[in-house]
Each structure stands twice: as structure tokens, then as C-alpha cells.
Amino acid sequence: MTEPVTLDIISDPICPWCYIGKSQLDCALAAAPDHPFAIQWHPFQLNPDMPREGMDRRDYLAGKFGGQKGAVQAYLPVVEKAEALGLKIDFEGMKRTPNTIDAHRLIHWAGIESKQTKAVDALFHAYFVDARDIGNHDVLGDIADGIGLDASLVLKLLSGDTDVMEIRARDTHSREMGVTSVPTFVVAGQHAVPGAQPPELWARVIAELQQQTNA
């Protein structure tokens, strides 16, 4: 049996390239069911200074891209790539841009129950496909319930500041290690692979790891 190899993924659930990158990784993993990866997700906030309650998406786009026209240009490569992969992104339906600290807390708690990747998948689906506000505690409670977590406990934890400082410290640690954009993948704690990579790259990485193990 192949020894597990840690694949650390640094991401933010409102990052479209993280959504795309995970989809491409999933294709490679599905084609190699005996892959050695043990996946761990790590927090990174694209907008660390976002108000805790989030903000109106139009205001966000105006501040970041100078308005709708600038946003359309900025997101065009995302839209084209998503369409090529058959992924839905409902940019038109998004009304708010959330602060993702609480979404990252949910991912952290899901990890304790070995449901981290399920939480990430559910958050991506809620935000990009259903255009839900994943900063909203009721939405996060629904997501928790949908992946088999205790929603009442999650809502209770969200009402306080449990693990907020830990999430922020882990985000800071990634930045101090040189991470400036997401997704960033770290293979075996050593090799950083930035950006949304095609399934072919992951297939080569998996094959190389398996060869090293069998050598």
C-alpha cells in the first residue's frame, strides 16, 4: 500500500480559481483512485479587511475593479475556464461578498470530524452555484447540517469567537511562508504548486510519487 503523502491546499471558499483548481484536482484523483494524497485545507482570506458582516457586492466590485465593467474584464478568464470545465458560477446572482472567517472556521471544525473536503465542496457549491451568502450563520448552519455536522453546535460556536484567532494566525503563517495568492498546493510539505493546475499535471505528480514509493 502506498504511503500517504500530505497535500496541503491553501484556499478561500470565495476564490473562483480555488473552485476551478479543486475541480481539476478532483478529475485527476478520480482517474487515480489509488493516489497517495492525504488532503488538508488551510485558510487564506482574499479580503482580510472585509467587514465581518460582508458588503454589498456592487460596492465591493466598485472598490476593487472600478465597477461592473472592470469586474467583467477581470472575471472573463474565470468565466471562460469554468465554462470549458462545465462548472457553474452564478456571478449575477451574488448579492453580497462575505467575510470568509466563519466559513474557514466551519472548514476547521469539519476537519475534526474528517469532513473537511465535504465542507469545502459544500461551501463552493453554496457560493458559486447557488449564490448564497456563506458569511451568513444560518447558511453555514445549513451547510453544516448537509454534511452531517451538528448544526446547532456549529451555530452556537459561530455566535462566539471560538477559533477566530487560530484561523487568522494560520492565514498569517501562510503569508509569512511566501503565499501571495490562492490556490496554493504544497506537496509533502516541500513542493509548492501555485495556481489552478490541469489534471495532467496532477497525474504526473501522482505517477512520480508512486514510482518513488515503489522504487
Question: What is the 3-class SS of the chain, one letter each residue?
Answer: CCCCEEEEEEECCCCHHHHHHHHHHHHHHHHCCCCCEEEEEEECCCCCCCCCCCEEHHHHHHHHHCCHHHHHHHHHHHHHHHHHHCCCCCCCCCCEECCCHHHHHHHHHHHHCCCHHHHHHHHHHHHHHCCCCCCCHHHHHHHHHHCCCCHHHHHHHHCCCCCHHHHHHHHHHHHHCCCCCCCEEEECCCEEEECCCCHHHHHHHHHHHHHHHHC
Indicate the pLDDT class of residue 212, thresholds 50, 70 and 90. confident
> Alpha-carbon dihedral of residues 55, 61, 63, 64, nearest 10 degrees?
120
Note the pLDDT of residue 213: 78
Q: Is the pLDDT of residue 215 over 70?
A: no
Q: What are phi and psi of 92, to 5 degrees?
A: -65, -35
Mean pLDDT of 63-85: 93
CA distances from 32 to 153, 205, 206 (A): 36, 11, 8
Note the pLDDT of residue 2: 64
Q: Is the pLDDT of residue 47 over 90?
A: yes
Note the pLDDT of residue 4: 94
Q: What pTM did the predictor assign?
A: 0.96
Cα–Cα distance, 81 to 74 (Å, whole number): 13
Note the pLDDT of residue 153: 98
Q: Is the pLDDT of residue 67 over 90?
A: no
Mean pLDDT of 134-163: 98
More reliable by pLDDT, 1 or 73: 73
Note the pLDDT of residue 100: 98
CATH C-level class of 5-47+99-214: alpha beta
CB burial string 186-208: b at 16+ within 10 A, e below: bbeeeeebbebbebeebbebbee
Lowest mean pLDDT, pick from 39-43, 60-64, 115-119, 124-128: 60-64
- What Rg, from alpha-carbon coordinates, does the chain have? 17
Indicate the pLDDT class of residue 214, thresholds 50, 70 and 90. confident
Cα–Cα distance, 111 to 170 (Å, whole number): 15
